[in-house]
Amino acid sequence: MSSILLKRAKTGSDVINSIHRQSVINITRSLDPDIRLIKITGPPSSTPPTHHHTTPTAAPLPSPVPLPFFSPDVSAQQGINNGEAKPLYVPGSQADRLARVSRMSSPLRRGSHESWWSGEMGWFNAVAKTIPTYRVLDEEGHLVKGTAIPEVLDHIINLRYRTMTLIPIVDNILYQSQRQGRISFYMQCAGEEAAIVGSSAAMLEGDEMFGQYRESAALLHRGFTLDAMMSQCFGNVEDVGTKGRMMPVHYSAPELGFHTITSPLATQMPQAAGAAYALKLDEDRQGDCVICYFGDGAASEGDFHAALGMNSVLGGPCIWFCRNNGFAISTPIIDQYAGDGIASRGPAYGLDTIRVDGNDALAVLSAVREARKRAVEGKKGVLVEAMTYRVGHHSTSDDSSMYRRVEEVKEWTVVDNPIHRFRAFLASKSWWNETSEKDLITSHKSKVMKAFSRAEKLPKPKLGEMFNDVWGIGKGDEVPAVIMEQRAELGRLLKKYGDVWEPWRKERKRFVEEGMDVMDCDGRGS
């Protein structure tokens, strides 16, 4: 023990769960670097502590002290100016470059904020009060006292509402079609319409979007057509984004700045951090921004921390938009984390952070607008946690009644329905009425069914298409032997069973050329 003390002064351990960007942490120590006891055990003062030499033995632990919590608006510099503390050094300053070398084990050697030594042992679980949840509308659609409507025209707000009412119809038709065996899979965004539409409405045309898999409403709001959406879910010849090779709802729209969705959780997050860094370096895109959607379940993945760590250090305009809908498939948030939600993690990474009512479209719109402004101007990341509720099942492969009460779901659809809340607000401003609602729903259903029927009738791509675009193979490139072998194997199977086994014969007829591009191929394909 004494040898350790002789090497370096031992510092007290500070357990920190949530640190605001401007918060100040007292770093407890019992011995200074010269192995001398610090007599002062009270708050820091501007007067240097009196030291006296002692034998380097373990000092008795000080008595427990109340947990000190620091308000986010208190900075270290204020403490110094008020004579409350004397900083040891400011990380990153030229004058202390040599000091950093001699303090390799010092807890102050890294970071962009100041701290000071303290003789008190302070244990931290939070340095601010619980993060509040910002809202503009209450559950009945009334403006919350002290808030204001975002500066947008009434017809623009109506457009947001039109998208919010469209996606439930799309969800219902495609969900039921999966149950009928007409598509293979589907995921709804029921209950999260305000969070998704409100956030996408705050983004601009040149911005980049990284979705998880419930952001179909953001795509529709951005200009993705119903025909394109249906074609992707059916995997037909007009699925230009994924060419019929991806599961339904795994959309891709490069022309709209929407990056391809993948199934594994949080894989889009490091990609978004890289895209934001690229925007920071691109002189021609200094006004553009990235928004990355993810859920509370994705925040439990390692990629979440890797992405936020990369973004906080390298910089780049990125909005980390968390849809905290209460469940990671069947795992409730109470079993996912013990701290103050996802938002509390943002300040620890140096990110400006806000928690917002995800069922309030206007609050989400206002919050993400401000988040985008901060991200672009500061060339940095901003974290937004939208508190919402997943009304639907996780997917068509899930039965949520196995892990939550049906009454709970019904209560959310009535008490805090984001669409009902927004509609009540519009009606209070005379921007909407029952006739408008009836006409809109009728129009939505007609357009959705038309796109659905058309997409279902279109053939699937050539069966051999599944072997293209693999390993960067382009026109005229040499096809790897393994690809040729796989094509030939599929061709042999189809020749052997394709005409005699009814399921295969029926399935083949759905493809262009009925799979002949594989059956008669020489391994290279058409």
pLDDT for 396: 96
Rounded Cα–Cα distance for residues 307 and 302 (Å):
9
Bridge partners of 354, per DSSP, are 384
DSSP 8-state assignment for residue 416: S
pLDDT for 157: 78
Q: Measure the CA angle with vertex 401, ends 396 and 406; round to 5°.
A: 120
pLDDT for 267: 97
Rounded Cα–Cα distance for residues 417 and 153 (Å):
23
Which distant-in-sequence residues (6+ apart) come within 8 Å of 53 by Cβ?
Answer: 36
pLDDT for 519: 83
Packing angle, helices 193-201 and 418-428, rounded to 10: 60
pLDDT for 288: 99
Amino acid identity of residue 326, one-letter, is G
Question: Which of left, alpha, beta for 471 (phi over 0: left; psi -120 to 50: alpha)?
Answer: left
Rounded Cα–Cα distance for residues 63 and 182 (Å):
69
290 in Cβ contact with 279 (< 8 Å)? yes
pLDDT for 36: 40
Which pair of tokens denotes residue 286?
Answer: 């200094």
Which distant-in-sequence residues (6+ apart) come within 8 Å of 239 by Cβ?
Answer: 228, 231, 232, 461
- Helix (H), strand (E), coil (C) string for 472-494: CCCCCCCCCHHHHHHHHHHHHHH
Domain 133-457 has CATH 3.40.50.10130: no
What ranges do the domains of the chain cover? 1-129, 133-457, 463-519
Rounded Cα–Cα distance for residues 437 and 499 (Å):
52
228-242 pLDDT, tens digit each:
999 999 999 999 999
pTM of the model: 0.78
Rounded Cα–Cα distance for residues 83 and 282 (Å):
44
Buried b (16+ CB within 10 A) or exposed e, 491-522: beebeeebeeeeebeebbeebbebbbbbbebe
Tally of helices (H runs) and strands (E runs) in the chain: 17, 13
Which distant-in-sequence residues (6+ apart) come within 8 Å of 301 by Cβ?
Answer: 265, 266
Q: Dihedral, CA atoms, 235, 236, 237, 241, nearest 10 degrees?
A: -30
Which helix H or strand E contains 385, and what residues bound it? strand 381-387
- Which residues, given as ranges, of the chain have pLDDT below 50? 1-82, 84-91, 95, 98-111, 523-526
- In the block, tokens 């632990």 appear at 61
Rounded Cα–Cα distance for residues 370 and 152 (Å):
14
DSSP 8-state assignment for residue 258: E
